[in-house]
Amino acid sequence: MTTTVSSEVKYIMDIIEEILTCDDNSLADERLLQEIIEKDAIRTVFHPIVDLYSASVIGYEVLSRGVPPMESPVKMFQVANEANLLWPLEYACRKKAITKISSLPQDKRSLLYFINVAPNILSDPRFKKGFTLENIQQYELDQRNLVIEITERNVINDHDHLESLIRHYSSQGFKISLDDFGSGYSGLETLVTASPHYIKLDMSIVRDIHLSPYKQVLVKALNAFAENVNARFIAEGVEEWEELETLLMLGVRYAQGFLFSRPKEEPVEISDEIREMIFSIVTPHTYRDHELDETIELLTEPGTSIELGRATCEDIFNLFKKDAALHFIIMVDSEKPIALITKQDFYMKAGGPFGYSLFQSRPAEYIAKKTPLIVRKDIPVVKLAKLAMERPYDDLYDPVIAVDDNGKYAGIVTMKQLLLRSVRLQIQSAQDANPLTGLPGNRAIEKWILKAMEDEEFSVVYCDLDKFKEYNDVYGFMAGDDLIRLTAKILVEGAGMIPGEARVGHIGGDDFVIVSPSIVSCDVLRSICQSFDGEKLSLFKPEDIDRGFYEAISRKGERIQVPLVTLSMAVIDSRNTESVRQPAFLSHIASSLKKEAKLQSARERRSTFLYERRHYDSRSVKM
């Protein structure tokens, strides 16, 4: 078989051969880079960015490659910087990327494309002159699908100018992303300047995050910040399943890395195998960052579905025409949902004097929405309502597609159903929540314990303040309220260190409960005790701290010395309860264990915890 080689490629290969025999390496590198730029030998590749909750691709980072021996972008830009070729190289990469994106099928062009731009290039007048809304539209691209990804290779000297440029592009509909946040020059000042729509966490923080509690605390805080400023937080460089599972537990929804796919010359979807693995670790507890855990399963309707490749746009038109109540059609491939057709979107695209004749014979998938929101049917209602309202405006009122544990189509949930049920659940939650701490009360706690007892491992930690009544009498009820709120804060922070989704509830008064889907370690409990004993001092008078007690009047009218308030915790877990899985029995055990824990705290004059060491089975239940 004869292989045809283009004249440009042959020319480049000749140059490479000549360069390999050159004695001056830097000169050889510079000449090769010039030839790569002049002969348009840049290769564009696409690296997928994944929505972990739906195991679907939301877009791609657009990367550039050269030709061997200068295939590496790091090598290309290093040589370009030394040879004063940064602008020509950036321009060549960007032009090739835009051209490549514009050649993709319509369904692919509707995804997001992250294009790297260094701040000094963004500030170059030639960039603003060439990268315009008009030029982008000439390529038949929607600027709302293009994300300018700011990469900081050098110090930014003029943040004010950068901010004005970012405002200029944002106002035109372009999105902004901050790359490699947490490394090099990609710091807080640039974050404030850019006010990005996307924040991409540097891979150095992601690497081995499952082994680093310090990194986990940092990422949890950064993810919460991103949510509060309405930015999407993307973890870069994910390579191990353990890293991914930890990121999910910390609330991270979007990720990118070799774990899903290496950069490819065509924008590919993630494989079914990878998708199934993601679904297997996006467990119900991953979704549940809210005390309201009623799932959408009861809201799910069968809906109408069609098999990929089995219908034309004319068939879809006839289906909508025949059934006035039909508003949504789900497209499936081997029982797995891949696209959504809404009546409104269909008529908008296929309507008009020429629309129908243009589309009627085309496959139905040509006009379908390729990135609907797809979730597991065990996601909580309140959580899904939040996710659904984060979608782009054009998709805001589309139904949500539910799948089972195997990723197969299970039905749809309409936004009307979702929002009505979410509001009702939140009203119920507000009625049950403790007004002082805002933590869920007894009804939620009982549900948590019942759910936890279904698993092989669980822990229930009963927490109680010692000498709280005396403190309240001496220091006043306002100080008492402050102490209760402080206790709630410390317990919530401590629960955040427990693997899985541990939850904190407020039984009432000075009684709290931590319910965990795993065994709570001594280290976590010790940390909670130390935090309480340290932070409580801000609520005592200096002289009482020095003495280690305060004075109070007993019921007999006598002046007594009362030790500083301590926290006692009684821990009951699955290791000692075997077949005894009744909340009432746990409470019965805890009653005596709490008394022992309180005595221990009184003896040691500090906060302590005590594990239940006695063994119980079904024969032990005598209440």
Edge-to-edge strand list for the sheet holding 336-342: 304-307, 328-333, 336-342
Residue 156 located in a structural domain: yes
Q: Which pairs from 240-246 meet CB under 8 Å and 24+ separation?
A: 240/208, 240/210, 241/277, 241/281, 242/210, 243/206, 243/207, 243/208, 243/209, 243/210, 244/52, 244/278, 244/281, 245/210, 245/281, 246/209, 246/210, 246/216
> Are residues 381 and 530 located together in one domain of the fold?
no
> Are residues 86 and 212 located together in one domain of the fold?
yes
pLDDT at 204: 92
User: Could you tell me the CATH number of the domain that includes residue 350?
Assistant: 3.10.580.10
pLDDT at 217: 84
Number of domains in the chain: 3
Please identify which residue in the block is written with the tokens 């809304």. Answer: 133
> Are residues 229 and 163 located together in one domain of the fold?
yes
> Are residues 409 and 443 located together in one domain of the fold?
no
pLDDT at 379: 87
Please identify which residue in the block is written with the tokens 């051209």. Answer: 99
Burial 465-482 (b: 16+ CB within 10 A, else e): bbbbebbbebbeeeebee
Contacts of 235 (CB under 8 A, 6+ apart): 200, 201, 206, 219, 247, 252, 254, 255, 256, 257
Q: Whole-number mean pLDDT of the chain? A: 85
Helices (H) and strands (E) in the chain, counts: 26, 21
Please tell me which residue, 492 or 25, carries the higher pLDDT value: 492
Give the integer Cα–Cα distance in Å for 73 and 138: 28
Which residue, of 424, 447, 471, is where some domain finishes? 424
> Are residues 519 and 561 located together in one domain of the fold?
yes
Identify which of 468, 494, 466 has the alpha carbon closest to the alpha carbon of residue 482. Answer: 468
> Are residues 371 and 507 located together in one domain of the fold?
no
Residue 121 located in a structural domain: yes
Give the integer Cα–Cα distance in Å for 152 and 156: 8
Give the integer Cα–Cα distance in Å for 59 and 147: 10
| % of the chain with per-residue pLDDT over 70 | 88
Please, where are the H alpha helices in 45-196? 73-82, 86-102, 106-109, 119-122, 125-130, 133-138, 159-171, 188-194
pLDDT in tens, 66-117: 888 888 888 888 898 888 888 999 999 999 999 999 999 877 888 899 999 9
pLDDT at 244: 93
pLDDT at 580: 58
69 upstream amide cis, omega within 30 of 0: yes
DSSP single-letter state for residue 519:
P
Give the integer Cα–Cα distance in Å for 11 and 34: 13
Residue 289 located in a structural domain: no
> Residue 520 sits in which domain range?
434-620
Give the gyration radius of the chain's Cα atoms: 30
Helix (H, G, I), strand (E, B) or coil at 551: strand
Residue 1: is its pLDDT beyond 50? no
pLDDT at 15: 55
Contact assessment for residue 237 and residue 260, using Cβ atoms and an 8 Å cutoff = no
Give the integer Cα–Cα distance in Å for 438 and 485: 9
**What pLDDT band is residue 354 in, cutting at 50, 70 and 90?**
low
Give the integer Cα–Cα distance in Å for 602 and 596: 10
pLDDT at 292: 61
> Are residues 74 and 183 located together in one domain of the fold?
yes
> Are residues 184 and 323 located together in one domain of the fold?
no
Residue 484: is its pLDDT beyond 80? yes
Give the integer Cα–Cα distance in Å for 417 and 421: 6
Residue 149: is its pLDDT beyond 70? yes
Taken in order 602, 605, 610, 614, is the CA torsion positive or negative? negative
Give the integer Cα–Cα distance in Å for 14 and 26: 18
Instruction: Give the E-state strand segments of 442-481 in sequence order.
Output: 459-466
Give the integer Cα–Cα distance in Å for 606 and 528: 12
Q: What is the mean pLDDT of residues 502-528?
A: 91
Q: What is the mean pLDDT of residues 577-595?
A: 72
pLDDT at 290: 47
Straight-line distance from the first to the last Cα atom of the chain, in angstroms, rounded to the nearest whole number = 85
Residue 619: is its pLDDT beyond 50? no
Please tell me which residue, 550 or 553, carries the higher pLDDT value: 550
Please tell me which residue, 424 or 515, carries the higher pLDDT value: 515
Which residue, of 249, 282, 315, is where some domain finishes? 282
> Are residues 539 and 578 located together in one domain of the fold?
yes
| % of the chain with per-residue pLDDT over 90 | 36
Residue 232 located in a structural domain: yes
Q: Which pairs from 28-34 meet CB under 8 Å and 24+ separation?
A: 29/70, 29/75, 29/79, 29/83, 30/79, 30/82, 30/83, 30/85, 32/69, 32/70, 33/66, 33/70, 33/76, 33/79, 33/80, 33/83, 33/85, 33/89, 34/83, 34/85
pLDDT at 289: 46
Burial 131-170 (b: 16+ CB within 10 A, else e): beeeebeeeebeeebbbbbbbbbeebeeeeebeebbeebb
Residue 174: is its pLDDT beyond 50? yes
Which contiguous run of DSSP H or E holds residue 401?
A: strand 400-403
CA distances from 468 to 65, 168, 603 (A): 66, 58, 17
> Are residues 383 and 405 located together in one domain of the fold?
yes
CA distances from 483 to 63, 472, 480, 490, 540 (A): 54, 9, 5, 11, 10
Give the integer Cα–Cα distance in Å for 580 and 384: 34
Residue 8 located in a structural domain: no
Which residue, of 282, 317, 349, is where some domain finishes? 282
User: Could you tell me the CATH number of the domain that includes residue 112?
Assistant: 3.20.20.450
Residue 17 located in a structural domain: no
Please, where are the H alpha helices in 261-361? 272-281, 284-287, 313-322, 343-350, 352-359
Residue 137: is its pLDDT beyond 60? yes
Please tell me which residue, 6 or 144, carries the higher pLDDT value: 144
Q: What is the mean pLDDT of residues 444-465?
A: 86
Let me know if 233 is exposed, middle or buried by CB neighbors in 10 A (0-12, 13-18, 19+).
buried
> Are residues 272 and 323 located together in one domain of the fold?
no
> Are residues 512 and 440 located together in one domain of the fold?
yes
Helix (H, G, I), strand (E, B) or coil at 152: coil
**What pLDDT band is residue 489 in, cutting at 50, 70 and 90?**
very high
Give the integer Cα–Cα distance in Å for 164 and 123: 10
Residue 211 located in a structural domain: yes
pLDDT at 584: 66
Residue 260: is its pLDDT beyond 90? yes
User: Could you tell me the CATH number of the domain that includes residue 607?
Assistant: 3.30.70.270
Amino acid, single-letter form, for residue 575: R
Residue 9 located in a structural domain: no
**What pLDDT band is residue 188 in, cutting at 50, 70 and 90?**
confident
Q: What is the mean pLDDT of residues 574-588?
A: 68
Contact assessment for residue 369 and residue 340, using Cβ atoms and an 8 Å cutoff = yes
